[in-house]
């Protein structure tokens, strides 16, 4: 199968630039699909001079770099103008192969969905699309100071919803959004929960984790992990810290600037200065692999204050490490966190309320321990193996239906 990921590569480090949970998703799912015998080619835009035309991500998973626009300096807003170029590259790869090389197209994010629409018709294969985020949802829950998503994206998403043979939603919430806001037909929406890497993200010594990351042994840590941009709302954690009564709490912000966060990359530091909590905020660049697990282990609580999340993989990773999560009650986070059992969900982003909830939680070691146990149990309901299994079912359905429809069309032609 061909997997399309135009705007961000599975080879990128999540937590910086445009790379985030979707990159983890593509990597983990591709690996497991390949283990199940599916040959995967992931198409992504070339963003560096030294990138090879194709690279093996894992056995059976090839990443193909497609030239479409300059390697550097193109923002996500510039990418719609590059979709013809990208499509040209994708179609060129297929044209060099024997006919019928690909059986299925899976696209991630609307930009890829647009390319998938053209390739699907050309190749005569079904398209399974995963939106990951939706413009209409984002615009309804816009962070202060964030830019609304443009009409071009809204329309582009609507078209992909109309054209895809199957729409994969990460959560029931996302499925409802696809149906209510985008008019997706119920029978074409499949809910498939993302997973979490339970081998990498597992409980471990807090003291050892802090030592490895160079963090103080004592005191409490509330961690934020994600791209630094208004949508992810790391400022809410810093404001909550300023409202908090406990002086021994440190906010640990892990991630790099992204999207509209790039307009003022130092905004968070300035905010902490203004609020007089600069010495209680620590910043770390995006962390990979085991070091990321250490971040979750080092924290007493992980905060996910996003204005919107289609899922919120960070919340699940933290829980898999046994760390309770305090999250905004939006989008997929309502699924990713079980309120009162694996963490706490908060309505809205009022720093006073966030500060109070964090204070109360950190003052009750017994409750923290209970939530930690609940978090572990909850995380174990999710696994990438199960995600891949469910996806294989969805792919199979899409292919069967697509074949049946084509045969019907051909039969129709013959009768006529």
Eight-class DSSP state of 186: G
Q: Which stretch binds its own copies (CB under 8 A): 154-162, 194-202, 299-307, 329-337?
A: 154-162
SS3 284: strand
Q: For helices 151-163 and 109-123, what crossing angle results, to 10°?
A: 40
Beta strand segments in 11-142, E? 40-45, 54-58, 61-66, 105-108, 127-130
73 is a contact residue toward its own copies (CB under 8 A): yes
- Tell me the closest approach of the beta carbon of residue 156 to its own copies, in angstroms: 5
Tokens of 329: 């009650």
Of 11, 13, 54, 69, the one binding its own copies by CB under 8 A: 69
Q: Which stretch binds its own copies (CB under 8 A): 144-152, 259-267, 340-348, 378-386?
A: 144-152
342 is a contact residue toward its own copies (CB under 8 A): no
Nearer to its own copies, 160 or 316 (CB): 160
260, 146 Cβ separation under 8 angstroms: yes
Q: Which of residues 90-109 bind its own copies (CB under 8 A)?
A: 91-92
329 is a contact residue toward its own copies (CB under 8 A): no
Q: Nearest to residue 119, comparing CAs of 163, 154, 157?
A: 163
Q: b or e along 307-329 (b: 16 or more beta carbons within 10 Å of the residue's beta carbon)?
A: bbbbbbbbbbbbbbbbbbbbbbe
Cα(234)–Cα(275) distance, integer angstroms? 14
413 is a contact residue toward its own copies (CB under 8 A): no
Nearer to its own copies, 70 or 289 (CB): 70
Nearer to its own copies, 149 or 174 (CB): 149
Cα dihedral 300→306→312→315 (10° resolution): 10
393 is a contact residue toward its own copies (CB under 8 A): no
Cα(138)–Cα(257) distance, integer angstroms? 19
Q: Which of residues 155-174 bind its own copies (CB under 8 A)?
A: 155-156, 159
77 is a contact residue toward its own copies (CB under 8 A): yes
Kindly report the CA angle at 348 between 343 and 352, in degrees rounded to 5? 85
Nearer to its own copies, 91 or 142 (CB): 91
- Tell me the closest approach of the beta carbon of residue 119 to its own copies, in angstroms: 10
- Tell me the closest approach of the beta carbon of residue 68 to its own copies, in angstroms: 8
151 is a contact residue toward its own copies (CB under 8 A): yes
82 is a contact residue toward its own copies (CB under 8 A): yes
Sites of contact with its own copies (CB under 8 A): 69-70, 73-75, 77-85, 87-88, 91-92, 114-115, 117-118, 121-122, 150-153, 155-156, 159
């Amino acid at each position: 199968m061909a997997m399309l990921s135009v705007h961000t590569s599975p080879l990128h480090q999540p937590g910086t630039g445009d790379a985030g949970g979707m990159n983890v998703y593509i990597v983990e799912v591709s690996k497991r699909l390949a283990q199940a015998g599916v040959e995967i080619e992931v198409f992504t835009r070339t963003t560096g001079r030294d990138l090879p035309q194709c690279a093996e991500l894992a056995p059976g998973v090839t990443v193909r770099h497609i030239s479409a626009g300059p390697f550097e300096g193109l923002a996500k807003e510039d990418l719609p103008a590059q979709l013809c170029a990208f499509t040209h590259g994708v179609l060129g790869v297929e044209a060099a192969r024997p006919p019928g090389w690909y059986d299925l197209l899976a696209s991630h994010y609307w930009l890829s969905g647009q390319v998938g629409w053209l390739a699907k018709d050309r190749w005569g294969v079904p398209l399974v699309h995963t939106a990951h985020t939706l413009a209409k949802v984002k615009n309804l829950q816009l962070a202060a100071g964030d830019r609304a998503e443009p009409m071009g994206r809204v329309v582009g998403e609507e078209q992909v919803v109309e054209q895809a043979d199957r729409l994969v939603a990460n959560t029931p919430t996302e499925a409802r959004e696809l149906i209510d806001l985008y008019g997706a037909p119920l029978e074409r929406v499949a809910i498939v929960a993302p997973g979490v890497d339970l081998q990498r993200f597992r409980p471990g010594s807090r003291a050892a984790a802090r030592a490895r990351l160079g963090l103080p042994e004592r005191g409490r840590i509330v961690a934020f992990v994600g791209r630094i941009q208004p949508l992810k709302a790391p400022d809410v954690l810093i404001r909550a810290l300023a409202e908090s009564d406990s002086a021994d709490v440190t906010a640990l912000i892990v991630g790099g600037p992204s999207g509209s966060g790039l307009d003022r990359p130092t905004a968070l530091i300035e905010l902490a200065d203004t609020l007089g909590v600069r010495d209680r905020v620590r910043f770390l660049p995006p962390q990979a692999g085991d070091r990321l697990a250490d971040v979750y282990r080092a924290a007493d609580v992980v905060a996910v204050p996003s204005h919107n999340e289609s899922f919120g993989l960070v919340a699940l990773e933290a829980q898999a490490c046994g760390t309770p999560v305090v999250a905004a009650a939006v989008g997929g986070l309502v699924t990713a966190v079980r309120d009162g059992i694996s963490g706490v969900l908060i309505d809205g982003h009022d720093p006073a309320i966030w500060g109070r909830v964090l204070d109360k939680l950190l003052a009750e070691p017994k409750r923290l321990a209970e939530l930690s146990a609940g978090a572990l149990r909850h995380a174990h309901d999710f696994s990438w193996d199960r995600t891949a299994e469910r996806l294989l079912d969805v792919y199979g359905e899409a292919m069967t239906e697509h074949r049946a429809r084509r045969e019907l069309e051909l039969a129709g032609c013959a009768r006529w």
